[in-house]
Chains A and B, each alone.
Chain A
Amino acid sequence: MRQPLNPRLNSGWLFLINVFWKGITLFLLINLVFAAVDPVDRIAKISAYNVLFPGRPRLPFGEDPGKSYNFSLFSLEAMFASHEIAALPKHPGEFRVILLGDSSVWGTLLKPEETLSSQLEARVSSKCDGKRVRIYNLGYPTISLTKDVLILAEAMDYQPDLIIWLTTLEAFPSDKQVTSPLVAHNYHRLENLVSEWGLNINLDDPEIYHLSLFGQTIIGRRRDLADLARLQLYGILWSATGIDQVYPQQYPKPQVDLTSDPSYHGWLPQDLPRSELALDILDTGMLIAGRVPVVLVNEPIMISNGKNSDLRYNFYYPRWAYDQYRRLLQEKSHQMSWKYLDVWDRVPAQEFTNSAIHLTPFGINILAEQLETTLEQEVCK
């Protein structure tokens, strides 16, 4: 027999229905307000780094978070907030140097104390009386000038006194500029750079991730929000262990025997097409740096002596393309009166680790030695 409906049962169902529709309404409302206010960048600046635990010596990046206590995210605000550069306002006596570049500057397979920033700082910190030289590692894996410019624009808020910008030919092809996920996921920043500094980037490039209205809601940005929380949580194990990347016992060595393919980036031996290189993005970077001196460095590459090494320097570069690039950068620097250092061949092949640009600690030591004099001149002048 069916049980009669009693008033208590009715009030219970009424309560459930109320909870349901109020819940749905609030959920939609909060999502719409969230999309309108877009608070993610502001939330990203709230960080436990430099407060509860020390700042990271390099920007967060990692492909195996469970083991490296580090991972890649796209919020530059959060990345900088977690970096030691955001720890305190700049000390009056501090001479602040920032290093820009790719994974070779960031320090793939290197411990924080072995990176270029640490080794350089150890070399120059006591050189100029009264100046407390601090060198910050703002390198970030993935090779793209636009990515460097994006980081530089954010770094200018931290009042650098000198910028050392290491780069290589791979960072120049125009069609590579937005392939870095950090660039592709920072549409609004690119838009600002385009409008403020005239950055030459096609904002309609399909590689660039555009947020729809749904994408701006809490649901749409759940991954970004979760990343912000994860960055804080990984800070605990980073602090506890000092580990921020995986150091495998064995890794594949860079290719020594090379292909006979003479093409570079689809271009055959001829004049390296200037119009296809993002030299203007280098100009934008220099504009953003403004009065802060910049030292442009063509970073070391591995020069192979294996098969077809008469055609190519390494896996990345055929000789003709790289030689032209070096001349081009030299000319451009001279023409623009940029301070330029070309240290492309200063590190022997055995001092490269798992790629033709990643150096061993000793390789970094050689590079630091090459940069020391220039740095000293800039710091002590």
Chain B
Amino acid sequence: MNWEQILWLTGGAVFLRLFGRGRLRLWGLLVASVFVVFWLQPPLPIRGLDFWMPMATIGLACVGWALTAPRPLLSWRHDLWAGTVILLETGVLLGVQSLLPVGAILPSDPPQIMLVLIGCLLGATLIYIILRADNYRPILIWSALAILILCLVVLKNPGLLQMTASGLRMLVGQSATLAQSTDIRWLGFSYLAFRLIHTLRDRQNGRLMNASLAEYLIYMVFFPALAAGPIDRMERFLKDLRSETGMGAADFIEGGKRIILGMVMKFVLADSLALAALNPENALQVRSPGWAWGMLYAYSLQIYFDFAGYTHIAIGIGRILAIHLPENFRQPYLKPNLTQFWNNWHISLTQWFRAYFFNPFTRWLRTRKPAIPATLILLLSQSATMVLIGLWHGISWNFLIWGLWHGLGLFLQNRWSDWSKNIAPAWIQKKNVAVLLKAASVGLTFHYVALGWLWFVLPEPAGALRFFLCLLGRG
């Protein structure tokens, strides 16, 4: 998102808060969220894809609702209205776009209206079938989970992405030889998938709060958090969505502060640091270890300010809408160990992985026969979780190494903490010593994380290793 889009979104949020009361608020948020899915989608070179991807986002959210909605529905009339509003809005967007220059609302010329109608009809039929096929719901939910994971695998793997782009190009009569992995950029899919998996798994476990179609869709594509999170939990989100909102000067003040803070972090600090930060090109050009460290520090700070800045903006806009999105960053670089770092860096993502992978995987390992030693379970579960988080950024060797780096780091830190607490001498408790030790721990943790970013930012492990040696004065 650029600053102009952020200002528009903020303006929209202010308008909705001031004029959208009661039911109007729900419908206003639904219309705004659907609109923003189309509006923020970047243009793509494959014909029509930048229209079908937002359509697929909304379609997936609707299918997710059909799979998780209570039986009988809370209010089928209300849900039918919501479905009608979504379809009408899509039609209106198409109509208005045809009167405006390309790119005003939709990123490029939309496909033929007949194709859109067929697409909508197919989607509506699918949702109807899912709602009717209650007996098959468990298998349908498992299938949906498998499809979502498959989509994530394809979208995170440049090779598969290029093959998909090639196929799509052939489908629309474009040259497949020009296909590139960057042809497919599905705005906010990762976060949509996390939210969908969360609701599907919670429905399987009987923990999911019941939601109407409008509520579910707003939760899935809530526009402040569409592109970069945070990943809220549905029960918490619905609590805010259903509560009565007053005029809320406090929300405007707090929201405004967070948006300004976020914009400064993103557009002043992160964008400035980007001019000096490590990247695959300058990693090969650097002449001395001192400057190499400088570039690594710049990257470490840049990635923090960039991501934390967007989160502040999302939380700020959410707050104006009286939705308290969860915090995602709490001074992670000032934490004295890696566990605390990960408890304070991209908090909603780590909590998601803890809930839907780490905990079930650890439980599964614990029930194995013969029993697996606890230390090994810890190593396996922490490494596997961090590797998965790494691969979520992209299925490639560098992200795998980054995940292992952190998995191993968490394991070693855990073992060290366990061991050192029993042998720590009494003088270590003294205030001055404790302060020094904490400072040293913060420094050590920060440098471990910063060195980990090497594997994150440099796509070739060989290049990352070369830069690592350069940092040590051996490159």
With an 8 A cutoff between CB atoms, is A9 at the interface? yes
1/0 contact string of A238-262 vs chain B (CB within 8 Å): 0111110000000000000000000
Give the distance in Å from the alpha carbon of A229 to the alpha carbon of B271 in the complex: 12
With an 8 A cutoff between CB atoms, is A206 at the interface? no
Closest to A17 in B: B249
- Is A242 a contact partner of B295 (Cβ separation < 8 A)? no
Partner of B275 from the list A15, A234, A239 (CB cut-off 8 Å) is A234
Given contacts A16-B252, A16-B253, contact A241 B246 (CB under 8 A): no
- Is B286 a contact partner of A240 (Cβ separation < 8 A)? yes
Partner of B282 from the list A5, A65, A237 (CB cut-off 8 Å) is A237
- Is A9 a contact partner of B276 (Cβ separation < 8 A)? no
Give the distance in Å from the alpha carbon of A230 to the alpha carbon of B250 in the complex: 37
Q: How far is the CB of B310 from chain A (nearest CB, A)?
A: 21
- Is A243 a contact partner of B285 (Cβ separation < 8 A)? yes
Which chain B residues border A13 with CB–CB below 8 Å? 247, 249
With an 8 A cutoff between CB atoms, is B418 at the interface? no
Chain A: residues with Cβ within 8 Å of the partner, total of 22
Closest to A5 in B: B247
Which chain A residues border B287 with CB–CB below 8 Å? 240-242
1/0 contact string of A42-79 vs chain B (CB within 8 Å): 00000000000000000000000101000000000000
Which chain B residues border A67 with CB–CB below 8 Å? 281
Q: How far is the CB of A179 from chain B (nearest CB, A)?
A: 29
1/0 contact string of A9-23 vs chain B (CB within 8 Å): 101110110010000
- Is B272 a contact partner of A233 (Cβ separation < 8 A)? yes
Q: How far is the CB of B273 from chain A (nearest CB, A)?
A: 8
Chain B: residues with Cβ within 8 Å of the partner, total of 21
- Is A3 a contact partner of B244 (Cβ separation < 8 A)? yes
Given contacts A67-B281, A230-B275, A233-B272, contact A240 B291 (CB under 8 A): yes
- Is B282 a contact partner of A241 (Cβ separation < 8 A)? yes
Give the distance in Å from the alpha carbon of A236 to the alpha carbon of B277 in the complex: 9
Give the distance in Å from the alpha carbon of A314 to the alpha carbon of B249 in the complex: 71
- Is A9 a contact partner of B246 (Cβ separation < 8 A)? yes
Partner of B253 from the list A15, A234, A239, A240 (CB cut-off 8 Å) is A15
Which chain B residues border A230 with CB–CB below 8 Å? 275
Give the distance in Å from the alpha carbon of A242 to the alpha carbon of B298 in the complex: 18
Q: How far is the CB of A296 from chain B (nearest CB, A)?
A: 38
Which chain A residues border B294 with CB–CB below 8 Å? 236, 240
Give the distance in Å from the alpha carbon of A236 to the alpha carbon of B282 in the complex: 11
Partner of A9 from the list B249, B288, B298 (CB cut-off 8 Å) is B249
Which chain A residues border B275 with CB–CB below 8 Å? 65, 230, 233-234, 236-237
Give the distance in Å from the alpha carbon of A233 to the alpha carbon of B275 in the complex: 6
Given contacts A236-B294, A237-B276, A239-B291, contact A12 B253 (CB under 8 A): yes
- Is A233 a contact partner of B252 (Cβ separation < 8 A)? no
Q: How far is the CB of A106 from chain B (nearest CB, A)?
A: 21
- Is B288 a contact partner of A240 (Cβ separation < 8 A)? yes
Give the distance in Å from the alpha carbon of A9 to the alpha carbon of B250 in the complex: 8
- Chain B CB within 10 A, most for which of A11, A12, A234: A12
Give the distance in Å from the alpha carbon of A242 to the alpha carbon of B284 in the complex: 12
With an 8 A cutoff between CB atoms, is B292 at the interface? yes
Give the distance in Å from the alpha carbon of A72 to the alpha carbon of B62 in the complex: 51
Give the distance in Å from the alpha carbon of A240 to the alpha carbon of B289 in the complex: 9
Question: In chain A, residues 205-246, which have Cβ atoms closer than 8 Å to a Cβ of chain B?
Answer: 229-230, 233-234, 236-237, 239-243
- Is B285 a contact partner of A241 (Cβ separation < 8 A)? yes
Given contacts A239-B291, A241-B287, contact A12 B249 (CB under 8 A): yes
1/0 contact string of A302-329 vs chain B (CB within 8 Å): 0000000000000000000000000000
Q: How far is the CB of A112 from chain B (nearest CB, A)?
A: 13
Give the distance in Å from the alpha carbon of A5 to the alpha carbon of B249 in the complex: 11
Q: How far is the CB of B242 from chain A (nearest CB, A)?
A: 16
Q: How far is the CB of A56 from chain B (nearest CB, A)?
A: 15
- Is B292 a contact partner of A240 (Cβ separation < 8 A)? yes
Give the distance in Å from the alpha carbon of A16 to the alpha carbon of B295 in the complex: 41
Which chain B residues border A19 with CB–CB below 8 Å? 253
- Is A233 a contact partner of B276 (Cβ separation < 8 A)? yes
Closest to A4 in B: B246
Give the distance in Å from the alpha carbon of A230 to the alpha carbon of B271 in the complex: 10
Q: How far is the CB of A222 from chain B (nearest CB, A)?
A: 12
Question: In chain A, residues 12-37, which have Cβ atoms closer than 8 Å to a Cβ of chain B?
Answer: 12-13, 15-16, 19
- Is B295 a contact partner of A240 (Cβ separation < 8 A)? yes
Give the distance in Å from the alpha carbon of A9 to the alpha carbon of B248 in the complex: 7
Question: In chain B, residues 242-281, which have Cβ atoms closer than 8 Å to a Cβ of chain A?
Answer: 244, 246-247, 249-250, 252-253, 272, 275-276, 281
Q: How far is the CB of B370 from chain A (nearest CB, A)?
A: 54
Closest to A234 in B: B275
Which chain A residues border B285 with CB–CB below 8 Å? 240-243
- Is B298 a contact partner of A16 (Cβ separation < 8 A)? no
- Is A229 a contact partner of B272 (Cβ separation < 8 A)? yes
Give the distance in Å from the alpha carbon of A12 to the alpha carbon of B252 in the complex: 9
Question: In chain B, residues 277-314, which have Cβ atoms closer than 8 Å to a Cβ of chain A?
Answer: 281-282, 285-288, 291-292, 294-295, 298
Partner of B246 from the list A3, A15, A229, A239 (CB cut-off 8 Å) is A3
Give the distance in Å from the alpha carbon of A134 to the alpha carbon of B275 in the complex: 31
Q: How far is the CB of A69 from chain B (nearest CB, A)?
A: 8
Which chain B residues border A240 with CB–CB below 8 Å? 282, 285-288, 291-292, 294-295
1/0 contact string of B441-454 vs chain A (CB within 8 Å): 00000000000000
- Is A241 a contact partner of B286 (Cβ separation < 8 A)? yes
Q: How far is the CB of B24 from chain A (nearest CB, A)?
A: 14
1/0 contact string of A253-290 vs chain B (CB within 8 Å): 00000000000000000000000000000000000000
Closest to A11 in B: B249
- Is A236 a contact partner of B247 (Cβ separation < 8 A)? no
Closest to A3 in B: B246
Q: How far is the CB of A273 from chain B (nearest CB, A)?
A: 47
Closest to B290 in A: A240
Q: How far is the CB of B325 from chain A (nearest CB, A)?
A: 21
Q: How far is the CB of A31 from chain B (nearest CB, A)?
A: 18
Give the distance in Å from the alpha carbon of A239 to the alpha carbon of B282 in the complex: 12
Give the distance in Å from the alpha carbon of A11 to the alpha carbon of B253 in the complex: 12
Which chain B residues border A241 with CB–CB below 8 Å? 282, 285-287, 291
Give the distance in Å from the alpha carbon of A15 to the alpha carbon of B250 in the complex: 10
A-B contact pairs, 29 of them (CB 8 A): A3-B244, A3-B246, A9-B246, A15-B249, A15-B253, A16-B249, A16-B253, A65-B275, A67-B281, A233-B272, A233-B275, A233-B276, A234-B275, A234-B276, A236-B276, A237-B275, A237-B276, A237-B295, A239-B291, A240-B282, A240-B285, A240-B286, A240-B287, A240-B291, A240-B292, A240-B294, A241-B286, A242-B285, A243-B285
Give the interface of B toward A (CB within 8 A): 244, 246-247, 249-250, 252-253, 272, 275-276, 281-282, 285-288, 291-292, 294-295, 298
* Across the A-B interface, the 6 shortest Cβ-Cβ residue pairs: A12-B249, A240-B291, A241-B285, A236-B276, A233-B275, A13-B249
Extra contacts, 18 of them, besides A236-B276, A236-B291 (Cβ < 8 A), are: A3-B244, A5-B247, A9-B247, A9-B249, A11-B249, A12-B249, A229-B272, A234-B275, A234-B276, A236-B275, A236-B298, A237-B276, A240-B286, A240-B294, A240-B295, A241-B286, A241-B291, A243-B285
